[in-house]
Chain A
Amino acid sequence: MIIGGLFAIVLTSSGWPVVQERFFSPEAFQTSFPEVARGFWLDIKMFMVIEVAVLILGLVVALVRTSHNAALFPIRALAAVYCDVFRGVPVVILIYLFGFGIPALELSGVPKDPILLAGIALTLAYSAYVAEVYRAGIGSIHQTQTDAALAVGLTKVQAMRYVVLPQAIRRVRPPILNDFISLQKDVALVSILGILEAFKIAQIETNRDFNYTPLIAAALLYLLVTIPMARILDHITAKGEINS
């Protein structure tokens, strides 16, 4: 009812015909969609690679942060600082700093490819989040599980590997997938380095004739990957509730 009411208000507003022409023009959609979709392929490749990197780096950071080994103290402190900094700085600033700052150093052997640098920035930002999710998951597995693992003769590393981590990972799948939905949209931020992904191409198309329909095309493409992800997330969450 409320939604219907809102629609009615929007569709009967005096500016609607103009908005319709600017944002929802079928012709502009048809001409821009193939281009934008081609750009979106880069988004997909980027977030798929970044997600794998985040799963690994996040886990490594979480393991360092949850270790009790006295010798690891300096690395543990470093990991804590890393999480604070990379979660605390806006992702868009990280992409600027990595994408423009690192090439400006003019160091030999340091990559200059903006796609790679933006990917590194996103990986570092999201790994900091995901590390904290993993850490919470590890912390949620009761100490008695570790006790039982040690009692059957496992080493501490084996107890983590075979008993704690499998349970922790199962538990944190929903929050990590949630972060990935966010990541799949944030890939659009790499456009600020001039990378021709979906949003950037849509922007260029828009600027050509001041019709914003390409942005709608891009939005649909993002929904195309985030909505299935959300459904997978629902499915896993529901399964988890049944099991527990």
Chain B
Amino acid sequence: MSAPVLQAKGVTKDFGDRAVLAGIDLSVDEHEAIALIGASGSGKSTLLRCVALLTEIDDGDILLDGKVITDPSVSPVEVRRNLGVVFQAYNLFPHMTVLQNITLGAIKAQKVDRKEAEDRGRALLDRFGLGGREGDRPDELSGGQQQRVALARAFATQPRLMLLDEVTSALDPELVGDVLEVVRELKKEGMTMILATHEMSFAREVADKVAFIHEGKILESGTPEEVLADPKAPETKKFLRRLLAAGRI
């Protein structure tokens, strides 16, 4: 049995005197998709940012393929080249075309030949339902299309692990479907993923495991059936009840 793709061991992070991550232990195997659920401010996004080395952790270790990546001697740039990150607000580069957005990492970071990167980029856009939009600027696309471009951008560098931070939260409900379709596609492909989400239906369908985060700790984790249908911790029950009341399940 090979090492998990990602491991977090006792990861903590304080913002001022607030403990955002209070000792996170997490393990993600190859081809596994883990959904992080929990209220806003519970630490889901911070955990993803810490894994992407965009936020420094205070204590603990994060390992990628068995190697510690949160050590000062490790180059964050090298680590990030093995990761794909998708943000809630897409964060596309507005001054670049769709194709330039998704080939920037391959061309500049991975030094892939431009022609090859562009061919791969176009193929990817076709697959994600964005054929013909390669020359458009991000602001000419709908939110759903922009988020699919962002998914393509993260996937284009063929990462070991993808981190999806609330990728549907900023979208109008009718645009969510197309984005979820792309995530399903990635899952089918065997991509290892951690996704922070509010969409329980999505967590149920795509994730192999669901982890409930509350106040910077993972209170319970298991298969979607276990956690969503039969939660053990009172906080999880309360969280799910609230979502149900809000019509979000």
Size of the B side of the interface (Cβ < 8 Å), in residues, is 25
Q: Which of B54, B89, B105, B139 contacts A152 (CB 8 A)?
A: B105
Q: Give CA–CA (A95, B76) in the complex, Å.
A: 48
Q: Nearest chain A CB to B92's CB is how many angstroms away?
A: 7
B188 in contact (CB, < 8 A):
no
Q: Which of A144, A151, A163 contacts B80 (CB 8 A)?
A: A151
Q: Give CA–CA (A150, B105) in the complex, Å.
A: 9
B109 in contact (CB, < 8 A):
yes
A154 in contact (CB, < 8 A):
yes
On whether the beta carbons of B93 and A145 are closer than 8 Å, the reply is yes
B85 and chain A: residue at smallest CB distance: A151
B246 in contact (CB, < 8 A):
no
On whether the beta carbons of A154 and B93 are closer than 8 Å, the reply is no
Q: Give CA–CA (A170, B137) in the complex, Å.
A: 15
B81 in contact (CB, < 8 A):
yes
On whether the beta carbons of B54 and A147 are closer than 8 Å, the reply is yes
Q: Nearest chain A CB to B160's CB is how many angstroms away?
A: 12
Enumerate A120-153 residues with CB–CB distance to B below 8 Å.
Answer: 144-145, 147-153
**Which chain A residues lie closer than 8 Å to B153 at the CB level?**
152
**Which chain B residues lie closer than 8 Å to A151 at the CB level?**
52, 54, 80, 83-85, 87, 154
**Which chain A residues lie closer than 8 Å to B92 at the CB level?**
148
Enumerate B133-190 residues with CB–CB distance to A below 8 Å.
Answer: 139, 153-154, 157
Q: Nearest chain A CB to B31's CB is how many angstroms away?
A: 22
A155 and chain B: residue at smallest CB distance: B77
**Which chain B residues lie closer than 8 Å to A144 at the CB level?**
87, 89, 91
B102 and chain A: residue at smallest CB distance: A152
**Which chain B residues lie closer than 8 Å to A154 at the CB level?**
77, 104-105, 108-109
Q: Nearest chain B CB to A151's CB is how many angstroms away?
A: 4
Q: Give CA–CA (A211, B52) in the complex, Å.
A: 73
B115 in contact (CB, < 8 A):
no
A151 and chain B: residue at smallest CB distance: B85
Chain B CB within 10 Å, residue with most, of A148, A166, A167: A148
Can you list 28 A-B pairs, Cβ within 8 angstroms, ordered by A? A145-B91, A147-B85, A147-B87, A147-B91, A148-B87, A148-B91, A148-B93, A149-B93, A150-B76, A150-B80, A151-B54, A151-B80, A151-B84, A151-B85, A151-B154, A152-B104, A152-B157, A153-B77, A153-B80, A153-B109, A153-B157, A158-B108, A162-B104, A162-B108, A163-B104, A166-B95, A167-B95, A243-B139
